[in-house]
Structure 1
Amino acid sequence: MLVLEDLTREQVRDWRVRGMKDHGVVFDHIDQYGEPSARRLFSNRLVDEAQRLADTRHLALHTTWGQA
């Protein structure tokens, strides 16, 4: 179990860097500890960004507007 209050500043920074490099880390944390915990650990901005970018994975960026 991850207790946010027990993490050092360096550990929090390391988690945030991992979350920025791999949004799967953010989603894994949400699955295990919930979104409020993820927002406290990673920041609202990073969680919002991960969720927004996850939604864009379904876009076919190589198609023209007429084909979409």
Structure 2
Amino acid sequence: MLPAPRPAADIDDDQELVLEELTQEQVLEWRNRAAADHQLVVDHIHRYGKLSAQRLFTRAFVAQVHRLAGLGHLDLGYTTWGQA
């Protein structure tokens, strides 16, 4: 399992992320970082669960990341229309 995302301030790797202790500025920083790197959302879900990720990143954003992650298996070089 990959380590959970951490705010910019140095935090001990063993320290748990407590959403209630985050400032509004820290939450916005997490969301900005997740917008640039969706793996942060996936890592957060693996460590803290989907509900926690939805609270931190918003339910809509977590759903969007899941949709995009589901598209990762597509081979864009293949067409279902057969040979041209």
| TM-score after normalising by structure 1 | 0.92
Structure 2 letter corresponding to 1:36? L
Q: Which runs of 5+ in 1 are unaligned?
A: none
The answer to whether residue 25 in structure 2 is matched with residue 10 in structure 1 is yes
The total of aligned residue pairs comes to: 67
Instruction: Return the alpha-carbon distance in structure 2 between the equivalents of residues 56 and 25 of structure 1.
Output: 18
Specify the alignment match of 1:22 in structure 2. 37
Counterpart secondary structure, 1:32: helix
| TM-score after normalising by structure 2 | 0.75
In our comparison, the structure showing a higher alpha carbon Rg is 2
Name the structure where helix makes up a greater proportion of residues: 1
Q: Which runs of 5+ in 2 are unaligned?
A: 1-15
Structure 1 letter corresponding to 2:30? W
Instruction: Return the alpha-carbon distance in structure 2 between the equivalents of residues 45 and 39 of structure 1.
Output: 8
